[in-house]
Amino acid sequence: MLKMIMFILYLFPMCFVSSMYWMVQNFLFLLSFLFIIMNMYGNYFMSISYYFGCDLISYGLILLSLWIVSLMLVASESIYKYNNYINLFLFNLILLLVLLVFSFMSMSLFMFYLFFEASLIPTLFLILGWGYQPERLQAGIYLLFYTLFVSLPMLIGNFYIYKIVGSLNFYLLNNYMFDLDILYISLVMAFLVKMPMFLVHLWLPKAHVEAPVSGSMILAGIMLKLGGYGLLRVMYFIQNVGLKFNLVWISISLVGGVMISFLCIRQTDLKALIAYSSVAHMGIVLSGLMTMMFMGVSGSYSLMIAHGLCSSGLFCLVNISYERLGSRSLLINKGLLNFMPSMALWWFLLSSSNMAAPPTLNLLGEIFLINSIISWSWLSMLMLSLLSFFSAAYTLYLYSYSQHGKFFSGIYSSSNGLVREYLLLFLHWFPLNLLILKSDMCTLF
CA distance 91 to 97: 10
Domain ranges of the chain: 1-442
Cα angle 441, 67, 48; round to 5? 60
pLDDT tens by residue, 158-180: 999 999 999 999 999 988 999 99
- Whether the bond into 212 is cis, omega within 30 of 0: no
Contacts 24+ apart (CB under 8 A), 145-148: 146/193, 146/196, 146/200, 146/202, 146/203, 147/117, 147/120, 147/190, 147/193, 147/194, 147/203, 148/117, 148/120
Beta strands in 76-171 (DSSP E): none
CA–CA distance from 215 to each of 67, 89, 316, 340, 425 (Å)?
15, 11, 11, 25, 17
Distance in Å from the first CA to the final CA of the chain? 23
- Which residues lie closer than 8 Å to 213 by C-beta, 6 or more apart? 72, 75, 76, 315, 316, 318, 319
Beta carbons of 300 and 231 less than 8 angstroms apart = no
pTM of the full predicted structure?
0.96
CA distance 366 to 355: 10
Interhelix angle 203-210/120-130, rounded to 10 degrees, is 50
CA–CA distance from 321 to each of 8, 46, 181, 213 (Å)?
32, 44, 48, 12
Of the CA atoms within 13 Å of residue 49, those in its CB half-sphere come to: 8
In tens digits, what is the pLDDT along the chain, a chain of 445 residues? 889 999 999 999 999 998 899 999 999 999 999 999 988 888 888 888 889 999 999 999 999 999 999 999 999 999 999 988 999 999 999 999 999 999 999 999 999 999 999 999 999 999 999 998 899 999 999 999 999 999 999 999 999 999 999 999 999 998 899 999 999 999 999 999 999 999 999 999 999 999 999 999 999 999 999 999 999 999 999 999 999 999 999 999 999 999 999 999 999 999 999 999 999 999 999 999 999 999 999 999 999 999 999 999 999 999 999 999 999 999 999 999 999 999 999 999 999 999 999 999 999 999 999 999 999 999 999 999 999 999 999 999 999 999 999 888 888 778 888 999 999 999 999 999 999 999 998 998 8
Q: What type of residue is 354?
A: N
Cα angle 355, 359, 360; round to 5? 50
Kindly state the DSSP code that residue 222 receives in the 8-state scheme: I
Q: What type of residue is 236?
A: Y
How many residues in total does the chain contain?
A: 445
Cα 77 to chain centroid, rounded: 21
CA distance 384 to 140: 33
CA distance 247 to 230: 19
Helices (H), 39-85: 56-75, 77-81
